[in-house]
Structure formats: C-alpha cells, structure tokens
Amino acid sequence: MLAALLVAFFLGGAAASGALLTEDMLKDFNHRAEQVVVDPERVDAITKEVASLHDELKAFNKALAKSGKSLDAYYKDHGADAAGMQTELDALNSAWVAAQSRVLDHRFNIRDQMTPDEWRAVFADK
C-alpha cells in the first residue's frame, strides 16, 4: 500500500504504471538527483529525505509482514471471530494512513529542495 503511494509520489499521477517502489528505485532517484542538483547542501537535504523514505518503506513493510502473520493465525484458527481480524486490519490501515502523511511530507521536502527544471530532469526518461 505504502509502496503504491511512493510510486505515485516519485512518478506522478499518470506516469505511475503500477510498479512497486523498491530500494533500487529510491537509490536510482537519489543518484539522479545527485547528478542534476549541483548545490551540495541541497543534495544533502535530498539524500536525507530519501533515506527517511527508505526508513518509512522498511517500517511499513515490517508492519505489513507482522500483520500478515497475525492475520494468518486468525485464518487458521477455526474459533477466531471477525472482531479480532477487523482490529488487526484497522491497525494496519491506521499505520498506512500515518505513513502516507509522512511520505507526502518527504515528497514535498524533496520538491522544495529542487527547482522545477531539476525535478523534470530527474524524471526525464521515466
């Protein structure tokens, strides 16, 4: 879920092709930004934001995996009720919403470090 939002964040609405965001995509973005942005202070700020995005991706993937294990246990438990499963799904959804908010903050922080021309250059062949 978070990965899909990050794809939209990096590639933009119509350009988001459904590919999932990966560590490689974050590295590629960071590399491209380093090539395009010449001011070392802005490059450093962008790199820090990309690192924070990477941390968000890892944290959400961890929460998703934990939730998956918990839901798997519910599915296997013949006596499990819907309320427990719904609680688990609600918690995952809350984590996703909070992560989306943080991801958007990172996206706009990165954008604020780049000129429109730099932004277009980073995504020129995407």
DSSP string, 72-103: HHHHH-TT--HHHHHHHHHHHHHHHHHHHHHH
Q: Cβ(47)–Cβ(27) under 8 Å? A: no
The pLDDT value given to residue 21? 64
Q: How many residues does the chain have?
A: 126
Does residue 124 have a pLDDT over 90?
no
Domain spans, the chain? 2-122
Which are the contacts of 102, defined by CB distance < 8 A and separation ≥ 6?
A: 52, 56
3-state secondary structure of 39: coil
Q: Whose structure tokens read 């922080």?
A: 109
Mean pLDDT of 63-86: 88
Q: Cβ(42)–Cβ(114) under 8 Å? A: yes
Question: What is the percent of the chain where pLDDT is above 70?
Answer: 83
Does residue 118 have a pLDDT over 80?
yes
pLDDT digits (tens, 9 = 90+) for 4-37: 544 444 444 434 334 356 788 899 999 999 999 9
- Distance between CA atoms of 86 and 75, rounded to whole angstroms? 12
